[in-house]
Amino acid sequence: MPDIDDATPAPATPDSPDGGSPRRGIKSFVVRAGRMGSGQVKALAELGPKFVLPFQAGQRLDTAAVFGREAPVVFEIGFGMGDATAKIAQTLADHDFIGCEVHEPGVGALLKHIEEKQLGNVRIFQHDAVEVLEQMIAPASLAGVHIYFPDPWHKKRHNKRRLIQPEFVAKLVQHIRPGGYLHCATDWEPYAQQMLEVLGAEALLENTAAGYAEKPSYRPLTKFENRGLKLGHGVWDLVFRRRPLV
């Protein structure tokens, strides 16, 4: 689950305070403990070498070589347990997907999906997405970026840890090609309002809707989201597009 972590890199839960640690810059995650199922352990061991890419600082990723074809590339930050990622990759088979997730059970779960659905268009970085973007993703190379249900950091004093901040968005948009898109979704309305404000203020982005967007057909409803909708909870999608070069 994507986030800003200004704490020391030790195991934590989403709601744990940082203990007053000094700010250490933008990160896309909070390290969490998690139990691995036997299927996830097996998937990591058997499929990890093929589908989990090594982080190599300063070395641009050759996506055509990685996927064996030229295709639009979508980058996902924090895919959780990978259910939505796998369904989208199956639906948009003409696109290639790179997902970043540091939570090992989630990596194992997505690897299981890859095997079960025979997905050749998904690769994984088990590494901080911010560093992957900065070090390995070429400028103006991504067709799209997905950020679904990032940690909302409900408490006001923790809002600064949210991922969608002007500094991060300004860096992120540099990696999206002109005409490419940024799709965010959240079930926390105050965060949705912040997203709308921050993305709307970025000069290189333009909103594809008059405010919040209709949920694109390619984004499936998660079990958690379905449960929330039945309880009357809202979900907000935002789809912005990188402006064409003048």
**Residue 140: pLDDT above 80?**
yes
Tokens of 22: 């000094």
Residue type, 169: V
| Mean pLDDT, residues 171-183 taken together | 98
| Mean pLDDT, residues 200-209 taken together | 98
pLDDT at 108: 97
Longest CA–CA separation in the chain, Å: 53
What backbone phi and psi angles, to 5 degrees, belong to 149? 50, 55
CA–CA separation, 112 vs 97, rounded Å? 16
Name every residue whose Cβ is closer than 8 Å to that of residue 134 and which is 6 or more positions away in sequence.
171
Lowest average pLDDT, out of 19-28, 69-78, 202-211, 214-223, goes to 19-28
Give the percent of the chain with pLDDT over 70: 86
State the catalytic residues. Answer: 151
Q: What is the sign of the dihedral through the CA atoms of 19, 24, 25 and 29?
A: negative
Q: Give the tens place of pLDDT for each residue, 108-133.
A: 999 999 999 999 999 999 999 999 99
147, exposed or middle or buried, with CB in 10 Å at 0-12, 13-18, 19+?
Answer: buried
Task: Output the average pLDDT for the chain.
Answer: 88
Cβ atoms of 128 and 151 within 8 Å: the answer is: no
Q: Give the tens place of pLDDT for each residue, 11-62.
A: 333 333 333 333 345 554 444 445 778 888 898 999 999 999 999 999 999 9
Side-chain half-sphere of 112: how many Cα atoms within 13 Å?
A: 16
What backbone phi and psi angles, to 5 degrees, belong to 183? -115, 115
Q: Give the tens place of pLDDT for each residue, 77-114.
A: 999 999 999 999 999 999 999 999 999 999 999 999 99
List the end-to-end C-alpha distance of the chain, in Å, as a whole number: 35
238, exposed or middle or buried, with CB in 10 Å at 0-12, 13-18, 19+?
Answer: buried
Cβ atoms of 76 and 145 within 8 Å: the answer is: yes
